[in-house]
Amino acid sequence: MRVKTACVRTTPSTALTALVTVPVLLLATACTSSDDGKQPARSTSGAGRTQPAQGPGSGGPASVTPAPGKGASGGSGDARKPLSEPQLKRAALAGGDLPGFQISEGKSALAPSGQPAADKRVCQPLADAMGDKPSPQAGSTVNRGVGSVQSLGLAVSASVSSYSEAGAGKLMDSLTSALAKCGSGFTATLKGRSGTYREVKSAHYTVRGADGTVSWTTLAKSEGTVAPIHLVVARKGATVVRFMAFDLARKTPPRVPQEVADKQLAKVAQALRG
């Protein structure tokens, strides 16, 4: 049968390319495909299905600490050592890693580059998390785009970054601190254009095997367009993984699929083992 491919692509004519309404990495192309008469492969963990986001009081803290014995080096190589760029590329998600999803490399040429600047200094870590890399202190960063086959319109950006172990820990602390102070929102500017983020709320989320996880939701607005976004940042030793989810179809509140986050961290652990 003929394979049909449906791509949801942001263009200069859409309000979403007006910059940080949709963060830099979500301006990548999100493609999904199907085959006439043939269902795409499904993950036993429910690939492509989103789960309801949980608010601050309903799911626990934004940061998750691992159980004793599962810290930086527990059975996964020396997680305290920064991964090299070739190692990061091997650790990044690739086609075939996730049944029910398509993986694309890099980001759209239409997407502006750089780190957004927040109008409130205390909120800068949250603005940075939506830039090219989780923070300016990242050594190397490899980006991927993830499109869901079953949940058409669900676009997720995923990245893997190397830090020093101390730097990775500091990033997580700065995000947790910013979430506590920026609930009312902030404005971010990149390349001379601005967008606002309101209703910044921590959301319970655990990435399996991570040394710590910070997760939050926000409503991004620019030029009259409002877009809910879910963000997750997790650390494994000196390696940081970051995810941003956006529903291009605007049907349901977006949530980073659990299997995407877990698979990405599993690949990091594999890279650390060598």
Question: 192 or 101, which is more confident?
Answer: 101
pLDDT tens digits for 119-155? Answer: 999 999 999 998 889 999 999 999 999 999 888 889 8
140, 85 contact by CB (below 8 A): yes
Is 204 inside any structural domain? Answer: yes
Radius of gyration of the chain (CA): 17
pTM: 0.77
Is 208 inside any structural domain? Answer: yes
Q: Check residue 101 and give its pLDDT.
A: 94
Is 107 inside any structural domain? Answer: yes
217, 51 contact by CB (below 8 A): no
Q: Check residue 82 and give its pLDDT.
A: 86
Is 48 inside any structural domain? Answer: no
Decide if pLDDT at 17 tops 80. no
189, 21 contact by CB (below 8 A): no
Is 49 inside any structural domain? Answer: no
- Which residues are CB-neighbours of 165 under 8 A, at least 6 positions away? 72, 79, 80, 237, 238
State the pairing for strand pair 141-148/186-190.
Answer: unpaired
State the pairing for strand pair 141-148/101-105.
Answer: antiparallel
Domain that holds residue 111: 3-36+55-273
Q: Can you tell me whether residue 10 is helix, strand or coil?
A: coil
The whole-angstrom separation of Cα 208 and Cα 67 is 11
Q: What angle do CA 55, 60, 66 make, to 5 degrees?
A: 135
Q: Check residue 109 and give its pLDDT.
A: 54
Is 74 inside any structural domain? Answer: yes
Is 246 inside any structural domain? Answer: yes
179, 197 contact by CB (below 8 A): no
Locus of tokens 């990033």: 171
Q: Domain of 186: which CATH number?
A: 3.40.1000.70
Is 254 inside any structural domain? Answer: yes
Number of domains into which the chain is organized: 1
